[in-house]
Amino acid sequence: MKKTLKRPELLAPAGTLEKLKTAIHYGADAVYIGGDAYGLRSRAGNFSFEEMAEGVEFAHSHNAKVYVAANMVTHENDQIGAGEFFRTLRDIGIDAVIVSDPALMQICAMDAPGLEIHLSTQQSAVNYETLNFWQEAGLTRCVLGREVSMEEVVEIRAKTDVEIEAFIHGAMCISYSGRCTLSNHMADRDANRGGCCQSCRWKYGLFDLPALGDKEMVGKGEEGIDEPFSMSAVDLSMIQHIPDIVESGIDSLKIEGRMKSIHYVSTVVNVYRKALDSYIEDPENYVLQEDWVDELWKVAQRELATGFYYGIPTENEQLFGERRRKPRYKFIGQVLAYDEETKIATIQQRNLFKVGDKIEFYGPGMRHHPEELEEMWNEEGETIRSAPHAMQIVTMKVSQPVKPQDMIRKSLERTRRKIAQK
């Protein structure tokens, strides 16, 4: 008898309306966005109410959901206007808000009844008693703290019936979720009110002070070069542990990255969509495909590890020294149209590319095909050798059919070989 598994929601970041549509087009079941207030990504492309309404209409027409992160910690007077904010979200059709501050939860429940409230990871919920508490307070979902282990996830699932959301890919905070004040001290920017300057990612000199007044630099290389240190964690990736993630009973699998590009969002969503569907459709014969892992390395990101899921991270999960693996591709454009008769694709440029580049087209469902760019034309039909201008529209002949919203990368291997030869 075939094993029946619950299909978890795949939840993607959407820093802009374009990213929202991209995430859903590439397979996300839901997206989370930020508004103009109460969020923790002040530098992300946060949504106006009009953009939210358009995003909700698009998402719902594709059977997807939209959540709004309103997870800041409020100080006195920060909550002024919150009731109207939440009512507007409810009336727009937002499916839920993600909140960490009990004051905002209370305001939302009182002023916008009917709008679901999810607990933010900023609350560091890592045990089932905590989840049961928040469920009794009226919350329908809890986002687990990133410090939870897989063993703890299984126990939490067994002892609570509130929905569970957990991160499976993206950046890891070096502090406990929602507890960092490093940015406050280093740059007078409040991390818990949307102003984090990511001072943990800065490079530092590390000193050993064995006695008062001594200053001996730790980490000097063989030639006396000072090694910069940081408190920076590598990124989380659970692509190699899809069976454990699905079997644990997590309801929503969350990808971090509202400030990442459409290249990043489309690639990561594409990979996890394929892996999840493959496992759920045939768990007994599921095999991790190495090209899924390789695909993740075609986008810019830090080193990857499994966070706290299988034990406490060690020095191997910190960023310092030479990178062990580097992205091999650069995002260069998006397909706007394709003519089947002429096999001509219309492309919107996003980064420089030129004749002779080895490029790769990809689309939803892990569709891929390589090309070597031999010829292209500008909007006037003139032959050109390069496309250097941002958002430039060009056309090119392709060997295989492509679709609107397919993405294009170019290989960096040739560039790296040239640098190495020098």
For residue 102, pLDDT over 60 is answered with yes
297 with 413, same domain? no
Domain membership of residue 239 as a residue range: 9-172+233-317
Position 49 in a domain? yes
pLDDT of 40: 58
Q: Out of 288, 317, 346, pick the residue that ends a domain.
A: 317
Domain endpoint, select from 284, 317, 350: 317
Is residue 224 predicted with pLDDT exceeding 50? no
Where is the domain boundary, 294, 317, 340? 317
Answer yes or no: do 308 and 334 share one domain: no
400 part of a folded domain: yes
Q: What is the mean pLDDT of the chain?
A: 88
pLDDT digits (tens, 9 = 90+) for 127-144: 999 999 999 999 999 999
pLDDT band at 417 (very low <50, low <70, confident <90, very high): very low
- Supply the pLDDT for residue 421: 43
**CATH code, domain with 156:** 3.20.20.70
311 within domain boundaries? yes
Q: Same domain for 280 and 341? A: no
Mean pLDDT of 206-212: 55
Sequence-distant (6+) residues with CB within 8 A of 198 are 183
Q: Note whether residue 178 is domain-resident.
A: no
Residue 220 lies in a domain: no
- For the chain, give the percent of residues with pLDDT over 70: 86
Within this chain, do residues 288 and 413 fall inside the same structural domain, yes or no? no
**388 and 303 within one domain:** no
Say whether both 313 and 343 belong to one domain.
no
Do 341 and 365 share a domain, yes or no?
Answer: yes
pLDDT for the residue 355: 96
pTM exceeds 0.75 = yes
> Does residue 294 share a domain with residue 396?
no
**16 and 110 part of one domain:** yes
Highest mean predicted confidence (pLDDT) among 156-160, 257-261, 409-413: 156-160
Q: What is the CATH number of the domain that holds 369?
A: 2.40.30.10
Residue 287 within any structural domain of the chain: yes
Shared-domain flag, residues 288 and 351 = no
**Structural domains in the chain (count):** 2
318-375 pLDDT, tens digit per residue, is: 876 666 667 789 999 999 999 999 999 999 999 999 999 999 999 999 999 999 999 9
Listed range (25-39, 204-218, 388-402) with the worst mean pLDDT: 204-218
pLDDT tens digit sequence for 254-264: 999 988 999 99
| Same domain, residue pair 129 and 36 | yes
